[in-house]
Each structure stands twice: as C-alpha cells, then as structure tokens.
Chain A
Amino acid sequence: GAGVSQTPSNKVTEKGKYVELRCDPISGHTALYWYRQSLGQGPEFLIYFQGTGAADDSGLPNDRFFAVRPEGSVSTLKIQRTERGDSAVYLCASSPWGGSGNTIYFGEGSWLTVV
C-alpha cells in the first residue's frame, strides 16, 4: 500500500480482555517497528522485526505483550489480560530494509482504551 496501515483505528475493551492490533507496512519494507505512545509522552519502542523474526523485543513491557510477523509483511501485536495502564496509542512503522541508515514511516496508530 501507499502508507503504513493500522487496524483498528480505535478499540475500547474491558479490563482483562485480549486484544489484537494489526499493522500492514509499506509494500516491500522488510523492517517493521511497534511503538507505544501515552498521553503527553513521546513514542516508546516496543519491538523491531527484520523479516519474520523479532530482532529486538527489549521494549515489550511484560509477558502479556507479544507480536508476530509470520510472513514478513503484516504484523500483529497481541495483548493478553489487558490492564487500564495499557491504554495508549500503538504506533506501527516500517522502513525499506533493516539496519542503520533508514528513514522510518509511521502509520496513524491504533488508539486503545481499556475500561
């Protein structure tokens, strides 16, 4: 596609429920990133994929968070047993190739509210 596409754009869920957020990167981009942005803060790194593998998942806050990219294109961020503190905008980004020297391009984000 022309840009990074994220779905859903908005999600309201009850505490304790399971949530999946989807990211469709720019066509041909091999690197994919997930970030989380809380109100009034800058985006915080969660995980980086190079192809199908998670090259760096050091930003995932705990084991309730998990992300996959099985075919090296679309990625899904999965959150189990959601908590109110998980409420944030989840941003996906992609870049042409892995490694240094890349411009990264962001989607419009998925706004998650846990009530």
Chain B
Amino acid sequence: GIQVEQSPPDLILQEGANSTLRCNFSDSVNNLQWFHQNPWGQLINLFYIPSGTKQNGRLSATTVATERYSLLYISSSQTTDSGVYFCAVEWRGTYKYIFGTGTRLKVLA
C-alpha cells in the first residue's frame, strides 16, 4: 500500500516562530488534505490541496504531486497552533484517505 510519512515527528517552537512541516507519499495520489487535531481530539480541515499553493491567514500549503510531497507552513506561531498535524492522501481514486504519521507541535508562550 501507499506510505505516507511526515517530518519532523515532534516540534517545539517559541511563540512567534515560523515552521515548515513536510508530508512525503510513496505513490500517485488524487487528493491531499491537511488537518489539525486539537488537544480535544477534533480533526479540523486546514487545506484541500491536491496540487499548487494555497494560503489561509498565517498558514499556507504547497503540494508538488509529481514529486510526491506537500509542505505546510506556519508563520508567527501561536500557542493555539499546538496539537498534531496530519496530512491525508486519497490514493489512486480509492475514495479513502490514508493518513500520515503526524507531526506533534507544541508552541510555548
């Protein structure tokens, strides 16, 4: 099956710092989403980004499907950004999303 790996696995930032999270996948995908899982376990959609670049406030994402990776940028991080970030890929039109290993982010005040 497809492998979806994220790096780094853990990240600690001081408030105000910037960071880049990476998602690599081992096969062609039709779609890709980024999620933030907050400390209460809720998965929140950040981006639907099968290719190209999108921005939403302090967050932006880029997917280069031909090279099988996606990046999530967080600028001017805040304590509320803490949690786990997952990328999830839809593999070859299977209609199901396969989740990556996650990046656990902690932002310190």
Contact = CB atoms under 8 A, between A and B. Distances in A.
Chain B, interface size: which category? 20 to 34
B78 interface: no
Contact of B96 (A42, A48, A105, A108): A48
Nearest to A44: B99
Contacts of B48: 103
A100 B101 contact: no
A33 B41 contact: no
- From B33, B99, B100, name the one whose CB has the most chain A CB atoms within 10 angstroms: B99
A109 interface: yes
Contacts of A89: 41
B95 A43 contact: no
Given A100-B31, A101-B30, A101-B31, A45 B45 contact: no
Secondary structure class of chain B's binding surface, majority of residues: strand
Nearest to A35: B99
A56 interface: yes
A31 B95 contact: yes
Interface in A51-105: 55-56, 59, 89, 91, 98-105
Contact of A56 (B40, B94, B98): B94
B73 interface: no
Contacts of A103: 33, 45, 48
Contact of A104 (B50, B93, B94, B97): B97
Q: In which size bucket is the chain A interface? A: 20 to 34
A99 B41 contact: no
B45 to A, nearest CB: 6
A109 B95 contact: no
A31 to B, nearest CB: 7
Interface in A4-50: 31, 33, 35, 41-45, 48, 50
A41 B33 CA distance: 17
Contacts of B56: none
Interface of B: 30-31, 33, 35, 40-43, 45, 48, 50, 86, 88, 90, 93-102
